[in-house]
Structures are given as C-alpha cells and as structure tokens.
Structure 1
Amino acid sequence: MKAEQKFMMIFRFTPNFKYQPTEAEMVQMQEQWGGFIGNIAIQEKLISTYQLGFEGKQIAADLSVSEGILISENKTLGGNMVVKANSLEEATTMAKDCPILKMGGTVEIRTITPMGN
C-alpha cells in the first residue's frame, strides 16, 4: 500500500460584501463546515485547516504595499485545509463534500512539497 501523502485543499469563492447572511444561515454554514471538517478528522486524515479573513495587505515585487485582499476573476481565497490521503484521487473525493461548492465556490487540491529541511 502506498504511503499517505499530504495534500492541500484551497477554497475559493466570490465574496458578496453587500449581503450579510442571517443568523440562521450562519449557523447552517457553521454546521455544514463542522460536519465536513469533522468527517475528515474522524478518519484521522485532517492535519490542519484555516479560514481566512477579509483584512490584509499585498506586497508587490517592487516592495510597494497595497491595502486589501486579492480578488482575481471575482474570486478570493477563503481558506485551506491540509489532509492526508493515499492519492490525489482520494483527496479529490474528500473535497467533493466541501460546503463551499454549494455556495458556487471551488476547491483546488494540490500536492504539498516540503521546503528545506
């Protein structure tokens, strides 16, 4: 059997700054994310997960700094999750249950290569 590898799921979505979800919608989203993350954790496949906020800065190659987060093709990063899986296909299957897909968002699954020692 092939040794488990680490994969990162990158969550992207189109932000809608004009719409504020209701309290009930927020609870429902939290429950969906909790179920998704919990299911992976129960399988002992979860390494880490992070939700990104909307406050940030960007540094360009010329060292100039701009306020705000990057929105490209009307999408921004919402967070990431690092999981263990036996293959890219297994990690992709796990990602298909991600709640961001129900919001019209996307999940990109990437291999992870350690940097340095």
Structure 2
Amino acid sequence: MDEYLILMRLDILTKDSQPSPEQLQIYMKQYQDWIDTIVAKKQFLSGTALSTEGRVVKSNQIITDGPFVETKESLAGFIIIQAKSFEDATNIAKKCPILMGEGNSVEVRKVMSIHTEE
C-alpha cells in the first residue's frame, strides 16, 4: 500500500462561518467516526489539525503573516493514510464530513519519498 495525504480546507477565519459550540461538538463526532472507520481498516497513519496562525516564507527571505491569500479557504488539517490506489484514497476522502460544509474541500495527494537514508 502507498501513503496518501488528505488535506482538509475550509473557512476557519470568517466569524459567520464558525459553528456554535453545539454544532462543533456534532462536527467533531462526525469527524472522529470517519477517522475511526479508517483506523478500523488499519489505513490511518497520522494526522492533526492546524492553527489559524502561520507565516509564509518566500524567496528573498520575505516573511508574511499567513498562510492566507485572497481566499477564505484555509488548510485546517490533514491526515496520512495507507491506500491501495489513488482511487481507494479518494473514496476514503469523499467520506470526510467536512465536505458537508458549503465551499469546503478535500485534496488527496500521494506521498512521494525524495529522501534516501545513507
């Protein structure tokens, strides 16, 4: 099996887009249930949420607060899974509960190793 990164993007900045504490509890339960199904299939490797704070370092050592560009959609977190194929990984990603939110998205990327141990 290969490793795949599932990136979860949603609006984590706009005040009106933030769920109530009750909604957040429901969303977190849905998310944990989704993760539990991946764990049960022994496909979950790791994952975490990301803070809303960040910095972007660009060429010429330009540092900006970020990572926000012209969009409200932000990288909220990611998980790394094992899957048989891109199609298998995409089918897992399609069940991510954040996709129930308007404008939210999930990106699937195959993890490629470019480093070798000597």
TM (norm. structure 1) is: 0.88
Post-superposition Cα deviations, 1:2-50, rounded to whole Å, max 9, x if no partner, equal: xx11111111123342234222111101101101111101110001111
User: 1:94 matched to which residue of 2?
Assistant: 92
Structure 2: how far apart are the matches of 1:103 and 1:71? 20
User: In the superposition, relative to structure 1, how do residues 39 and 75 fare at CA in structure 2: closer, same or farther (>3 Å)?
Assistant: same
Q: Does the 8 A contact of 2:43 with 2:82 survive in 1?
A: yes
For structure 2, list consecutive stretches of 5 or more residues without a partner in the other structure: none
Q: Does the 8 A contact of 2:14 with 2:72 survive in 1?
A: no
Moved over 3 A (4+): 71-74
User: In the superposition, relative to structure 1, how do residues 72 and 49 fare at CA in structure 2: closer, same or farther (>3 Å)?
Assistant: farther
Q: Which moved more, 1:17-26 or 1:86-95?
A: 17-26
Q: Which moved more, 1:10-19 or 1:52-61?
A: 10-19
User: In the superposition, relative to structure 1, how do residues 92 and 72 fare at CA in structure 2: closer, same or farther (>3 Å)?
Assistant: farther
Aligned length: 114
User: In the superposition, relative to structure 1, how do residues 109 and 72 fare at CA in structure 2: closer, same or farther (>3 Å)?
Assistant: farther
Given candidates 67, 70, 76, the residue that maps to 2:65 is: 67
For structure 1, list consecutive stretches of 5 or more residues without a partner in the other structure: none
Compute the displacement of 1:53 (Å).
Answer: 0.9
RMSD: 1.4
Identical counterparts, % of pairs: 25
Structure 1: how far apart are the matches of 2:89 and 2:101? 20
Equivalences for residues 1-117 of structure 1 within 5 A: 4-19=1-16, 20-104=18-102, 105-117=104-116
Q: Does the 8 A contact of 2:99 with 2:106 survive in 1?
A: yes
